[in-house]
Structure 1
Amino acid sequence: MKASLAGRYATALFELAREKSVLDTVEASLARVRGALEQAPELGAMIESPAVSREATTRAMGKIADELKLDPLSKNFLGVLAANGRLSQLGDAIRVFDALMAAHKGQARATVTSARPLTDAQIKTLETKLSARAGRTVSLDTAVDPALLGGVRIQLGSELIDASVQTKLNSLATKMAGAAQ
């Protein structure tokens, strides 16, 4: 995780934030950036576009940082990514920073993908069961993928737990194809 380009940027941000005792502040700022990326697809398109100059993206990210009321370290982080032409790494860097924060707090993060949005009760049940399995507190990020048809796919660290209907049907089709030969 840290060996990736996004991982190196996130680790540098994490270490600086820890040295300055502003980890929680940076975490909150990055959560606002993540929310902005999720709510404004045009922001993601600008970040990914090679047609937008580094100078333009640097200015835009400065304005966005001011609008989101980011702390100075997070604002500088966005500026460095923009100036170095690495804004395409922003989403991954935020995910790595979140993982570093979770580890720092003695927690783990898991991504749960389901065919339909999970209820609060289902999320709480999964957090409890995954925490017992991992031996530490697990926080969930949720995603929806209707192609799963039903069930869930859970990524907890390097472990993938796939209890989706889609995978079960694919497995059954493979077995049936092998038996027919």
Structure 2
Amino acid sequence: MIGASREAFAAGRENLDSLTDNTSVDSAKLAEELGAVTALLNREVSLRRVLTDPARSGQDKAQLIASVLSGQVSGETVDLVSGLVRSRWSGSRDLVDATEELAAYAEVIAAEQAGKLDDLEDELFRFGRVVSGSHELRAGLTEPKAGKAAKAELVNKLLGGRAQPGTVRLVTSLVTNPRGRSLDQGLAAYAKLAADRRDRVVALVTTAVPLSDGQKQRLSGALAKLYGRAVLLNIDVDPQVVGGVRVQVGDEIIDGTVSSRLEGARQALEG
């Protein structure tokens, strides 16, 4: 998002933070309802265009969305979405993106309030690892010809009873309405939301063998000094790296594995 949309989203996130600070507000329910609003706005193109029309007053747009949502979702959700449409948006799709991200953020808050944020992060990471290791699973979750119902059922088979309801809802939303994102991109975005909530970064660490607790602490400490924030290590063991450690933080990669050095030598020889 750029310009007006970025400012509008920031205001919406502040409103969500303030709303969920109230212990009487059910953050999980709020997340579920924001997900339903996202689906509505994604489906109803004409509605979202009206709601982001700069020629209409913010109050007029707030009244319109309140009339649409009244009786369908809680008053807290109506207030939050009404605040979003009062703002100015650079494009109508940005409103959908913002609502979707706020829904995911509310799931993160709900997990934190329940003392389950570590579990949420770990379950999302492990799910991504499982899917990346199975072409059949990835195809079943990402192929356009696989219907939404079939994808949702597959997610439930994989995670139902094994993961938190919030994890199941996030993954189901991602695979049934990817909206241009790959599965990996969506899971990474969720992980970032959880990390941002704790003011820390997430590092994907790939090693040939499991790290000891001491090695994890030293690596985490070194990365924290480098990035100036606490670092969560998601560790993936892959014998193909031969030795050393590969660390990825966002788009930045620190690769000290033997396999990468061998590949570099091969390319040098071929060159």
- Shared fold (TM-score, shorter chain, > 0.5): yes
Change (3 A) 1:65 1:107: same
SS in 2 for 1:67: coil
Where in structure 2 are there 5+ consecutive unaligned residues? Answer: 1-96
Matches within 5 A, 1:144-159: 144-159=237-252
Change (3 A) 1:9 1:57: farther
| 1:126 matched to 2:182 | no
* CA drift at 1:63: 6.6
* CA drift at 1:110: 0.7
Cα pair 1:34 1:91 within 8 Å, conserved:
no
Cα pair 2:175 2:183 within 8 Å, conserved:
no
Cα pair 1:14 1:23 within 8 Å, conserved:
no
| 1:48 matched to 2:134 | no
Query: Which residue does the alignment assign to 2:54?
Result: none
Where in structure 1 are there 5+ consecutive unaligned residues? Answer: 1-6
| 1:11 matched to 2:106 | no
Larger Rg: 2
CA–CA distance in structure 1, aligned partners of residues 266 and 151 of structure 2: 48
CA–CA distance in structure 2, aligned partners of residues 43 and 176 of structure 1: 38
CA–CA distance in structure 1, aligned partners of residues 263 and 158 of structure 2: 44
| 1:103 matched to 2:196 | yes
Give me the identity figure in percent. Answer: 24
Query: Which residue does the alignment assign to 1:170?
Result: 263
* CA drift at 1:30: 6.1
Structure 1: which amino acid aligns with 2:110?
V
| 1:139 matched to 2:229 | no
Cα pair 2:124 2:191 within 8 Å, conserved:
no
* CA drift at 1:141: 0.8
| 1:117 matched to 2:210 | yes
Query: When the two structures are aligned, how many residues end up with a matched partner?
Result: 169
Question: 1:150-179 deviations in whole A, cap 9, x for unaligned?
Answer: 11111123322111122223334455666x
Cα pair 1:37 1:43 within 8 Å, conserved:
no
Cα pair 1:108 1:138 within 8 Å, conserved:
yes
Change (3 A) 1:30 1:65: farther
CA–CA distance in structure 1, aligned partners of residues 268 and 182 of structure 2: 40
Greater share of strand: 1
Change (3 A) 1:132 1:10: farther
Query: Which residue does the alignment assign to 2:110?
Result: 22
Change (3 A) 1:158 1:63: closer
TM-score by length of 1: 0.66
TM-score by length of 2: 0.48
Query: Which residue does the alignment assign to 1:58?
Result: 152
Cα pair 2:121 2:194 within 8 Å, conserved:
no
Cα pair 1:10 1:94 within 8 Å, conserved:
no
Q: CA RMSD in A?
A: 3.7
Higher mean C-alpha displacement, 21-30 vs 95-104: 21-30
CA–CA distance in structure 2, aligned partners of residues 130 and 44 of structure 1: 31
Structure 1: which amino acid aligns with 2:245?
V
